[in-house]
Structures are given as structure tokens and as C-alpha cells.
A and B are shown apart, each in its own frame.
Chain A
Amino acid sequence: MPDDAQEQFTRRDFVKGVAAFTATAVTHARIAMATGENARKQEGGAASPGGQIPQRPLGKTGARVSAIGVGGYHLGSTQDQQEASEIVARALDAGINFFDNAWDYHDGLSEERLGVALKGKRDKAFLMTKVCTHGRGKDIAMQMLEQSLRRLQTDHLDLWQIHEVIYYNDPDLIFRPGGAAEALLEAKKQGKVRFVGFTGHKDPSIHLRMLAQDFPFDTVQMPLNPFDATFRSFETQVMPQANRRGIAVLGMKSLGGSGEMITHGAITAPEGLRYAMSLPVATTISGMDSIEVLEQNLEVARGFQPMSDVEMQALRDRVKVFAADGRYELFKTTKKYDGDVGREQHHFPTSQKLPA
């Protein structure tokens, strides 16, 4: 599964008003709004209800990106190119410039659809894709880069990230002589990518081992949501270091990846997205496979007002009991979100044979 797979399924359900509340969730008291504090954390001068989508600095790169980004996987889940193009066009019009993708999403279809959709608009977008070496070397990475550029119909990426750093020996394999880290530097040198980073959804300790390499990463992508705050937490273990070093943090899985946290009634979709966007991140990547879902996200992102610290803490406290076993963060606790390209390289059973 891709980083943001199925997240959208749930958000769509939310939009349709489908909510299956469990007995446990019903007992949750609604959080008290901490009035008067909301305005404390001002977004870069653009925040007002119905206003613009905030633009934020991408770490210390000098680039600025929209506070919400379009997840690439779901562009491949759209009905056809026309729908994908419409989503991309409307997102750009609304002020979203961050576009996520990956070499392996839908066997290339996600990149192809985004490439067509961005035709003539490439310069308005901040374009990211990811490379799926999963331990293989620099040469494979460079070949994948050429394929991605061709599919995306561009001569350069704004950001190129190593995808799915989720296996415990991945840092060793990426930084071995001839490993994928060398490809990041080479591609940058050749002017084919502006910035480089990595992503993964498994374990903060793996992210920390990547960061410990003292490699000039511009970005790091990670799952960020109210449940993560108290369970194998990227928010507490990885994000502060990235912030300190000026490495841009890209949030994902704001609704837990498969969204049981929403359908079980533990949180609402806007709560999850608002929480993630209120963290010190450059952007929050969210899958949008229909106009309906895009509009739902735009409602939260337009004139975005960050949650207050008090409100965020109340949300963390409220969901803590459900966060404690990882049931709503299956990307950390199961194989459900681990893609087949990586499984093959690491000799794991396929997703069909080992779904979770």
C-alpha cells in the first residue's frame, strides 16, 4: 500500500455522512474549545476563514509550499485522466502547489496522470516524487528517476525522496557505498532535482538512524496525527530534530492511513487534518481522488487557523487510550501499508500472502 492509500476512502465516507460510532467512542466527551488562544499561532499572514491556503517555508531551502498537499497515489485511483486533471487544476486554482507522487504508485499511472494534468502548469507546482530502490543501488535509482521525469513530463523535480524507509536495515543499505543516497546527490548535481528527502511510516527509530547519517536531507516525511503523539511517536521523537536542523517536515496519514479512527468515531476527519496541519510542518499530504474530497480538504485548509496548544493536548489525551496498542496506526504495527516492491527486495511475502 502507498503512504496515503485508503485514507481517502474514509474521508469520502465522512463527506457522505457515514459514521459508524462504536460504543466506546460515544462515551467521548467533546473537547472544550480553548477560546481566545486560536489566534495565537498565526499562519504567514494569510489566515482567515474562507481565505487563502497558507504557504509555508520548506525548511531552510528557501522554497515555499502550500500547507496541504495532493497525495499522488489517489490520482491513480481516479476514474480517468479527466477527473485527475480536474482535481489538479482546481487544487492549483485554490492555492495548493504541493504535489506528491511515487515511482511505484499504480505501476506508473499516478505519475502519468499527474504529468498530463500539469501540462502547461508545471511551473506553478512544487513537484515531488519518490524513488523505490528499497535497498538497491544508485544505478537503479537513476533509472527510476529518468522514468519518473518522463512520466511527469518534466525535466526536473522540486523534491525527490527515498520511498518507504521502513525496514530496519534500510539505513544501512541506503548509505552503503553505491547505495541510493549517492543517487540523491548525483541527481541534485545534475540539476534534475532541487531538493532531496526520505519517507517512511514504520518506526521513529528508523527515521532517526537515517537522520544520524548527517546527510544533507532537505525534507523528511512521516505519519503525523493525534494517535502518533503518544504511540511510537514521530511527533515527539523525529519532528523536533528535523525542526532544529531546518529539515522540512512533511506530514502524512493525518487520518491514520485507513481511517478506522474516523469510522469508529474516535475523531472526525476535520479534527485529524487540523491537528496534523497545526504541527510545525511544511505541509500535510492528503489523498484526494475526487473533487468532493478535494473540497472537503479545502474547507479545512482555506484560511486555516491552527489549533491551540490546549486544544491539541486535549485531543491527544482524548485518543490516548485508543492510541496505546496501535490499532488505528496499522502502518506502524502491521504489514498492511508495506508495498510489494519493498517486500520483494526484503524477501517478505507479498501483500496478498501476508496482508497484515
Chain B
Amino acid sequence: MPKRTRKPARGRPMSKNTPARKAAAVRQSTSSSAGPIPLRPFGKHSDVRISALGMGGHHLGDAKDEKTAIALVREAVDGGVTFFDNCWEYHRGKSEAWMGKGLKGVRDKIFLMTKVCTHGRDASLALQMLEQSLKRLQTDHLDLWQIHGVVFENDPELFIRPGGAAEAMHKAQQQGKVRFLGFTGHKDPRVHLSMLQTGFPFDAVQMPLNAFDATFHSFQAEVLPELNRRGIAALGMKPMSGHGEPIQDGAVTAEEALRYAMSLPVTTTITGMERPEILRQNLRVAQNFQPMPPGEMRALEERVKPVAADGHFELYKVSLKFDNPEARLAHNFPLDMESPEVKEIVYATQNTGRPYPEIPK
């Protein structure tokens, strides 16, 4: 761990990017940390412990360049982050490739997760994606492999059908290529519950958890207790609603948002950190982490309830915005031409003349 020099300030809003604040954040965080990030048991696999803060893979691909991304990963590892999130389709493979480079030499110190983008398609496609992910991440195994973006009402049925992705998960586990299995989604607690009802032995389930979710189409109320009861590791995401909109709007501060999410009964909270100052601010919260008292959590939920009620701070539940191209393609939904992945798809198709998706046979 980096040497502690002084106690970091608390309660600094992270989104105010005034030059003075940015400088202060950098100055303060380069060498300060209050302690290790807490490690928590991975569901019923209590011998496996992972950091209460996890690094999100999508935002890593938003880093300025590869060098920055590698440095971010290394600084996160040094700061005590052991949970690393990724996905086959993030930035068309760039996120996995950059993370693979950043984790070189420290792979065995961390818990590595990536996701597979079948979205109802076959087990064979899933296994092809797994090989690609392993290659990009420069490893022979994943600690956790999850079904990505379970957001459509028929996804659970398509997952568990004969020949569906569930079979690929079993096979990959038998082959020793993945240790644990899970799924993720951001749309509707009922879809998560349908996945659980398939009876598949999931080790982990990922979902959006934040103060807005507490009162609107709530994963916290409808899914989290079930996971806790079954000993399935709960992985929180979108503590800042995806792109930090409520922080920019002043509805919550970044620190209270992150502290709130980390204070829920979850194994880890995954958040995107594409710039060093954001990483350092999150590390500070995690290294100084004290759970919010329940009264404080309830007060925050009540405070944001009026703006939570129509979902405008949780666009992943009420719009297509966070539904990635693979999901939309597989389900025949309109693509978002502004997303980096779609731009890559269009570019690749134009330049190779080959149809998308480009999966080696």
C-alpha cells in the first residue's frame, strides 16, 4: 500500500471539475490512503474475498489512451482494488485488451471478471467469445464469467433453453476456464428474478444499486434480499447512475452516492474510473470506508425520492441508452449510432466488407 501522509478530506464533490479542485484532488490523492480497501466474502464462497470497490471495464476503454489505461489499472491494484470488471463487447474488445495489459504480472493477485454477450444466442457463440476474452485479457482463466445485459423479458428463457448460453457456462467451468458464474442486467428486477427462477447455480448477480433505485423499480428491494438469502454474491453497479448525472445535477454528491452503494449488503460496488482523479477520489472513499448508518441511508433515499420517481436519473431502466449494441442486434432493436461500439462496427464493416459480428469459425 502507498505510504500514508495525511488524511484525505471528506465530502468533496467529485464532479466539480474546476481547475483548483482538480489540482487539489490530484495533489491530495497521489500519496494518501487511510487504509486498505475492505475485503468481503464472495457470497457463499467465503474463502474467496474481494475488494469492496471494483473497477468497471467500460470506462477503462474511455481512458485517454492505452498508457493511461494501463496506469489506471496498476494504480487501482496498488490502491487495494482486487475486483476487475469487463465485457466481451466493451469498446469492441479495447477494454479487455487494455485491462489485460494493465494486469500483466499481477493477474494472480486479483479477481478477474468478464461477461459474454450472447443475448439469447447459442452456447457455441458464447464459447467463441470466451476464447477471445481470455486472449485479450492475457489469461488462461477467469475468476467470474457472467452473462451480459440480461435486459429483455425473454432473455431468461433463451438463456436456459437447450443449446443456450447456460450450457456454455457449465462447459467452461468444467474445463477450468472459469471459476464462478453469474449474470448482469440493469433493466428490470423482474427479469433478474426470472433468471434466478431458471434454477441455474449462479455464484454472482450484478445489478444497479444506488439511492434512486431504492424507491424506483427497485433491485435493492426486490432482488438483493433474495441473493443474500441464497448466498449469491451481489455485485452492485451504477452507484452514480451510470454517467454521474445526479451528481452533475447536484442531487447527490459522488462521495455519498458511492458510500451509500457500498453500505448495502453487497460483495463489491463496480464503478467506472477513466481518469486518474476519479480513480483516486474513489480509492479515497473506499480506503476510508465507514458504512453509512441505516438512518442516514433512509434519509438519503427519502431526499432523492421525488426525483427518483420517473426514472430520469436511471435511464438504464427506462430507455435503451445503456443497452449495448450486441443486445440490440441480437434482439433486433434500433442501434445507437453515437455509441463507440456502433461506430466501430460500422467502421469495421465498411473496411473489411465482412458481415458483423466477426467471430472466427
Mark A residues whose CB is within 8 Å of B.
167-170, 172, 231, 260, 264, 324-327, 330, 333-336, 346-349, 354-356
Q: State whether A169 touches B154 (Cβ < 8 A).
A: no
Q: Are B153 and A168 in contact (CB under 8 A)?
A: no
Given known pairs A334-B320, A354-B319, the reply for A168 and B311 (CB within 8 Å) is: yes
Q: Is B125 an interface residue (CB 8 A)?
A: no
Contact B333 A168 (CB under 8 A): no
Please, which residues of chain B bring their CB within 8 A of the CB of A334? 319-320, 333-334
Q: Which residues of B contact A349 (CB under 8 A)?
A: 315
A176 to chain B, nearest CB (A): 12
CA distance A170 to B318 in the complex (A): 14
For A347, the chain B residues whose CB sits under 8 A away are 307, 310, 312
Contacts of B310 in A (CB 8 A): 167-170, 346-348
Interface residues of B (CB under 8 A from A): 152-155, 157, 216-217, 307, 309-312, 315, 318-321, 331-334, 336
Given A168-B216, A346-B312: A330 in contact with B153 (beta carbons within 8 A):
no
Contact of B309 among A169, A324, A336, A355 (CB under 8 A): A169
> B154 and A335: CB pair below 8 A?
no
Closest 10 CB pairs of A and B: A324-B154, A169-B309, A325-B152, A167-B310, A356-B320, A335-B319, A347-B312, A334-B320, A346-B310, A327-B332
Q: Which label, helix, strand, loop or mixed, suits the secondary structure of the B interface?
A: loop
Contacts A326-B153, A335-B319; A356 near B309 (Cβ below 8 A): no
Q: How far is the CA of A355 from the CA of B42 in the complex (A)?
A: 39
Question: In the bound complex, do residue A336 and residue B334 qualify as a contact, i.e. CB atoms below 8 Å apart?
Answer: yes
Interfacial chain B residues near A260, Cβ < 8 Å: 332
Q: Can you report 9 residue pairs joining A to B where beta carbons are below 8 Å apart?
A: A324-B152, A325-B155, A326-B153, A327-B332, A336-B334, A348-B312, A354-B315, A356-B319, A356-B336
**Assembly CA distance A330 to B311 (angstroms):** 17
Q: Which residue of A is nearest B318, CB measured?
A: A335
Contact flag A325-B318 (CB < 8 Å), given A168-B309, A346-B310, A348-B312? no
Residues on A with beta carbons closer than 8 Å to the beta carbon of B336: 355-356
Bound-state CA distance A169–B311 (Å) is 9
Complex: chain B residue closest to A203, CB-CB: B318
Residues of A within 8 A of B216 (CB): 168
State in angstroms the CA–CA spacing of A168 and B313 once bound together.
13
Q: Taking A170-B310, A335-B318, A348-B319 as given, write out 11 further A-B residue pairs in contact, using a Cβ cutoff of 8 Å, ordered by the A residue number.
A: A167-B311, A168-B216, A264-B332, A324-B157, A325-B153, A330-B334, A333-B320, A347-B307, A348-B310, A348-B315, A354-B315
